[in-house]
Structure 1
Amino acid sequence: MSRSPRSAAARRSWGEDDSGCTVLHVDMDAFFVSVELLDHPELRGRPVIVGGQRRGVVAAASYEAREFGVHSAMPATRARALCPQAVVLPGRHDRYREVSREVMAVLAEVTPELEQVSIDEAFLDVAGAIRRMGSPTAIARWIRREVRRRTGVPASVGVAGSKHVAKLASTHAKPDGLLLVPLEATVPFLHALPVGALWGVGEKSGEILDRHGIETVEQLAHTPLPQLHRILGVAAGQRLHELAWGHDERKVSAAHTEKSVGTESTFGEDITDRRALERVLLRQAHECAARLRAGRVFAGRVAIKVRHADFTTLSRSHTLPAPTDLAQDLYAAGRDLLAGVEIPAAGVRLLGLRAERLADGGVGIQPALDEDPHRAQAERAMDGVRARFGSRGVLPATLLPTGDQRHRRSTTATNRGDIS
């Protein structure tokens, strides 16, 4: 079954009447690659891959690389086999967050009804900006022009009456385009798509629908609800049926709160030494803690992910006795979790740490009675040094490079997991 939502019907113009289409979805095109091209203009027009050096997965691929079948989340070895001439660059997430902040600052000039859903995409409800800035499509054109002028990176924008359709429209507008789906064209637009385009249809549910002969959104829309309930379950079947008919009541939520922050490291060589893994956890704890403090939130739970050389993946989590934004606390919990995981003889391929159950740092956080204030002072002082001299301006002594450090870091910021 085709999984691509970019059918010829979806790419054509769907009309010019944007009345009532106040939801915009702004999506940066191949964002990590676009940022890299700002600093490496000599690579324009060439296939470029970000992340996935030696091992790990692709974080982003230029459109030139995509022509060879390379896509994000693809194993690095597969990407290099498909496109051996590609230029492979390491990820620079501090740089991506910097440009992301500039993009979001442009969007914030349009309306406070702004919901950032990841480092490179956001929803806007522009109903309150129409009198000041013009029609929704005029606002979308202004956004694309200003984002390009101020940041140098391209943005595609979808304009529609709901979040679901606006996001699909921005996908079909890529690369570097704008697509309006008028209210009266919503159902025809959706029904021209493969069922995999619907929000909530993943690989497993797509295979289930395919076995029942449901390959398009139109076919799903005309499938009796009782049958969909039997195939997918009542909740999923009901939700997909509503989306197939253009019903999406979700509002743009300006009060979006991140659920977690985390980082993962894929190693150039599998690691068998537990102390080396603990050093990785310590670095990750400091990265996560710095992002918690930058976002002024506290974590109530710590989780780790361990992937063995044979790709067996384990997850462990621990609820903290008190919310924290300190690396010492995150590391202590992560180290204890790692202590309960057996390190196989073949070693560990990937290790990740995540701070979860985030709470606003200004609301309801009560320090422990025996809390040592100097712990927080030291880490906040490190934040100040890094802000002035860069992310490696100061490090804990145990993280200073040693001669036997052979593993290489590949960090990936996931959707809804990065505070910027």
Structure 2
Amino acid sequence: MDFPQRKIIHVDMDAFYASVEQHDHPELRGKPVCVGGGKYGVVAAASYEARKFGIRSAMPGKLALEKCPELIVIKPRFQRYKEISQQIRQIFHEYTDLVEPLSLDEAYLDVTENKKGIESANQIAREIRETIFEETGLTASAGISVNKFLAKVASDYNKPNGQKTIHPIQILEFMEELPIEKFYGIGKVTANKMHQMHIFKGSDLKKKSLEELVRIFGKSGNYYYHVVRGIHRSEVKPHRIQKSVGVEETYWENLLDEESVFKQLKLISEDLEERLRRKEIRGKSLTLKIKYRDFSVYTRSKTQEMYYENLEDFYKTAKKLWELRPFDKPVRLLGLSLSNLNTQEKKQVSVQLKIPFPELD
């Protein structure tokens, strides 16, 4: 088989936000809990007790409450989640500096050569999970294989608090039996399209030629053709040049008047200035993002020749961008992001990375 023999671990925290809340508030343990949601919000995370009722992340809070009237809705504490995430990443770096975070609660690790000289990636994953539990009281699941795609798929198999290794000699058989819905990068829309083509698992997908898959699915077809054969060459990349910096805030109670909006834009501008100051980053394009109670999203940007310098610049421009659209419905999220950055001059910038797979449907 044509793929590099690396040792890749994908670590995924179990119901991270909800688990943090249950850990910090013991009275919530064993109960259906969701972080975010409520009458007008969207579920950010659901405890395993809540998942038994069919509650999932990104589900409208109103629907979640219909499914489970006794659901306990918790306001997110993102600063707390970030604090624990940093603690977990420090554990990763005890084994390797090749750590690629995907979000606060998951990351890839390349342990082909590791700081402790441990031969078994399976043993490393077990040690990492045990240390996370000892230091945070939280459980994690892990997938281990020769590339990022297989490690990602494997980490979902023995959740929660488990791990799975896909050995090189098992890859072809494993991929042939894998349901198409389990392929990372294949969402519901694509899965339904494949079902119409009588593709239900890896062995069905493998029968399709590269030409046919590219014709039907575009560039993603090339990806599907290779991963079903266990081939995924993307390396674990701990650093990338940052292309944008942003701050978003979702509100527990919707903003109902312009005075409240301006007050929040001022606070977001302060947060953005602080984030840019720490990273010594400046940018020329400012984007305002507004999400309304009905989940519709509006964005507007302004680019200038000179770099935006400080919170006064951010706030003044944000207000002007806001005034381009009439205030006709309650606001549940505001965000400001800066792009067209000076990071081309920088060699390394720590960022939250996106997985280099096709967009999920």
Relative to the length of structure 1, the TM-score reads: 0.75
**1:289 paired residue number:** 273
Counterparts of 1:294 and 1:37, CA distance in 2: 32
Distance in 2 of aligned mates of 1:79 and 1:339? 34
Q: Is the Cα contact below 8 Å between 1:54 and 1:268 reproduced in 2?
A: no
- After superposition, the Cα gap between the structure-2 partners of 1:360 and 1:147, relative to the gap in structure 1 and judged at 3 Å, is farther
1:301 alignment partner, one of 285, 292, 314:
285
**Contact 2:96/2:115, CA 8 A, preserved across alignment:** no
Which residues of 2 match residues 102-117 of structure 1 at below 5 A? 102-117=87-102
**After the TM superposition, which residues 41-80 of structure 1 pair with which residues of structure 2 at under 5 Å, given as runs?**
41-80=26-65
Deviations 1:394-419 (A, max 9, x none): xxxxxxxxxxxxxxxxxxxx9759xx
How much has 1:297 moved relative to structure 2? Answer: 3.7
How much does 1:56 deviate?
1.1
Indicate whether 1:264 and 2:249 are aligned. yes
For structure 2, the residue ranges without an aligned partner over 5 or more in a row are 355-361
Partner of 1:279: 263
Q: In percent, how many aligned pairs have the same letter?
A: 33
Q: How does 1:19-38 map to 2 (within 5 A)?
A: 20=5, 22-38=7-23
The whole-number CA distance in structure 2 between the counterparts of 1:361 and 1:247 is 31
1:92-131 matches, within 5 Å, as 92-129=77-114
Closer, same or farther: CA 130–103 of 1 in aligned 2, 3 Å: closer
Instruction: Write the mapping of 1:8-407 to structure 2, written as runs, cut at 5 A.
Output: 20=5, 22-129=7-114, 132-233=117-218, 235-259=219-243, 260-266=245-251, 268-269=253-254, 271=256, 273-324=257-308, 326-344=310-328, 346-357=329-340, 359-360=342-343, 363=346
**Shift in Å, 1:299:** 4.1
Mapped partners of 1:134, 1:325: distance in 2: 49
SS at match of 1:302: strand
Post-superposition shift, 1:173?
A: 2.6
Distance in 2 (alpha carbons) for counterparts of 1:21 and 1:217 = 23
SS of 2:194's equivalent?
helix
Q: Deviations over 1:100-148 (max 9, x none)?
A: 1100001011111111121111111111117623411111111011111
Q: State the SS of the aligned residue for 2:316.
A: helix
1:292 and 1:117 map into 2 onto residues whose CA distance is 21
* Cα distance between partner residues in 1 of 2:271 and 2:49: 33
Q: 2:357 maps to which residue?
A: none
Separation (CA, whole Å) in 1 of partners of 2:52 and 2:232: 33
SS of 1:129's equivalent in the other structure is coil
Aligned partners of 1:336 and 1:58: how far apart in 2? 31
Offset, 1:311 = 4.0
The AA in structure 2 aligned to 1:286 is: E
Range that drifts further, 257-266 or 66-75: 257-266
Where 2:290 maps in the other structure, the secondary structure is strand
Change (3 A) 1:265 1:176: same
User: For the structure 1 residues 324 and 151, does the alpha-carbon distance in structure 2 shift closer, same or farther, using more than 3 Å as the test?
Assistant: farther
Which piece of structure 1 moves more, 106-115 or 325-334? Answer: 325-334
Q: Deviations over 1:289-309 (max 9, x none)?
A: 333334454444322222345
C-alpha change, 1:340 and 1:42, in structure 2 (3 Å) is same
- Residue type of the alignment partner of 2:220: A
TM-score, normalization: structure 2?
A: 0.87
SS in 2 for 1:84: coil
Letter in 2 for 1:126: V
Distance 1:88 1:335, change over 3 A: same
| Counterpart residue type for residue 249 of structure 1 | R
Please provide the CA RMSD for this pair: 2.6
Change (3 A) 1:92 1:315: same
Q: 1:55 to 1:180 in 2, by over 3 A?
A: same
Letter in 1 for 2:225: H
- The 8 Å contact of residues 144 and 166 in structure 2, kept in 1 or not, is answered as yes
Which residue matches 1:379? Answer: none
What do residues 81-117 of structure 1 show as CA deviations (whole Å, max 9, x unaligned)?
A: 1111121111000100110110000101111111112
Unaligned runs of 5+ in 1: 1-18, 365-413
Say whether the 8 Å CA contact 1:194–1:215 is kept in structure 2.
yes
